[in-house]
Structure 1
């Protein structure tokens, strides 16, 4: 990445929050744990897949090597949502497609945001974790334990993309970032992290209502994927803390 001014890396704080791939590269410098939050839908899909015993290999978006990797691993390759609809039994970034899947042991999962960020951080040195609303409590407790041991944490709301490829900050990922920080000592938070946690406080009483009415949620509903939003909006339904090891998230629990 190009040079980033030290003040923009939040290095003076043990818990940092910054957006998207470029932000991830900045705030994970010297971080011990990096939590990637992509509520609609990468992180939610990973958590549901792991709950079904599926190992997930995140992969950069629109990379033709994903086909080769799936073949090498004897894994299923996740399709785009609309394409998967035309192929019964196939899976995609859609959480509901994983929830109803059968016979899948390994999944190569490309996505333009969360998966791409995870893939870019895989060799960074930090422990990469996938966080969402469904596992927010478990991830928050995990972070609190890591911080008590002296760790530094970077939380990365993935955001979405505008048609020109630029970052679109997505409010659902801000809420998710705040949710995974709910049990963290406020004294450790950067101002950016504090904003995320305050946003979550206003969200947590009516999560599904907020998620269905935000821009990303409405976009999925309009395309016929309301069940994906409903699945993503269920708070604390699992104790899974997906950690990326050897290029894969594996089904383990704390």
Structure 2
């Protein structure tokens, strides 16, 4: 019997976090982590930097970066001059890097989780929602495949999922741009959330909990980059553990 949570029978679906990514399977999965993993990935792709998603920054991440011949991102608050972190600002400024291992507990973890699922995994943010929707449309033009947007969300101190409204908006913006009339009810709800704030999205992004948190810790410029709606033509695609800019 098909799971009632699978959103079967629709061309596009939507869900939250690692569990949602497993339950609502799609032929193409758009991972959305606006503050900040997928925004950082699009900034890297704009600069020709390939990104290797990874779950945590620990000793295994150090070994993985060496194996990939890549730079390992440092913690956002620990980054010094010339060092790169999950902060999109640091990626925009860095020089001399072509490969980057970018750990994060949410978007990066989900992308890594999906890498062996058989699905095509792409990184979507507000910056590249239109480009990603156009790319997906080309992939699905002659098929009956299903696309799913997964909002990464954040974590409460006890480890439980905290739905992050910025990821809902990013997923909804992407799904809205797809132009499909066969969205699941969950996907339609995401689209409605995006359309409700799209006229003044940068303001809402700075004022939401995630935006306020980054601003409080001194990373308001990262929020500003995340709010660069439709400025990137990059569509980072995950293949063999690496997210590279699709042409």
TM-score bracket for this pair, using the shorter chain length: over 0.9
Between 12-21 and 179-188, the greater mean CA deviation after superposition = 179-188
CA distance in 1, matches of 2:193, 2:34: 15
Paired with 2:111 and 2:150, the residues of 1 have a C-alpha distance of 10
Q: Does 1:144 align with 2:137?
A: yes
User: Which residue among 151, 154, 167 is the counterpart of 1:157?
Assistant: 151
1:18 match: secondary structure: strand
Aligned partners of 1:218 and 1:90: how far apart in 2? 24
User: 1:62 and 1:105 mapped to 2: Cα distance?
Assistant: 19
Alignment partner of 2:102 out of 109, 115, 123:
109
Which residue of structure 2 lines up, in the alignment, with residue 100 of structure 1?
Answer: 93
Deviations 1:133-186 (A, max 9, x none): 000111111223334322211110000000011000000000000111123244
1:245 aligns with one of 231, 239, 243: 239
For residue 46 of structure 1, report the CA deviation from its aligned partner: 0.3
Q: TM-score, normalised by structure 1?
A: 0.93
| Cα distance in structure 2, aligned partners of 1:80 and 1:198 | 35
- Deviation readout 1:178-206 (Å, 9 max, x if unpaired): 11112324421000000011111112111
Which residue of structure 1 aligns with residue 193 of structure 2? 199
Aligned to 2:183: 189
| CA positional deviation for 1:75 | 1.2
Q: Does 1:123 align with 2:120?
A: no
SS in 2 for 1:206: helix
Superposition deviation, residue 63 in structure 1 = 4.5
d(CA) in 1 for partners of 2:149, 2:2: 19
1:215-249 deviation line (CA, Å, top 9, x unaligned): 00000000000000000001111111110011101
- 30, 34, 37: which is aligned to 2:29? 34
Instruction: Give, in whole Å, the separation in 2 of the partners of 1:244 and 1:251.
Output: 9
Corresponding residue of 1:18: 15
Contact 1:186 1:194 in 2 (8 A): no
CA–CA separation in structure 2 for the residues paired with 1:236 and 1:89: 27
Unaligned runs of at least 5 residues, structure 2 = none
Shift of 1:89: 1.2
Distance in 1 (CA, whole Å) between partners of 2:117 and 2:69 is 27
CA distance in 2 between counterparts of 1:64 and 1:197 reads 40
**Is residue 11–residue 180 contact of structure 2 (8 Å, CA) maintained in 1?**
no
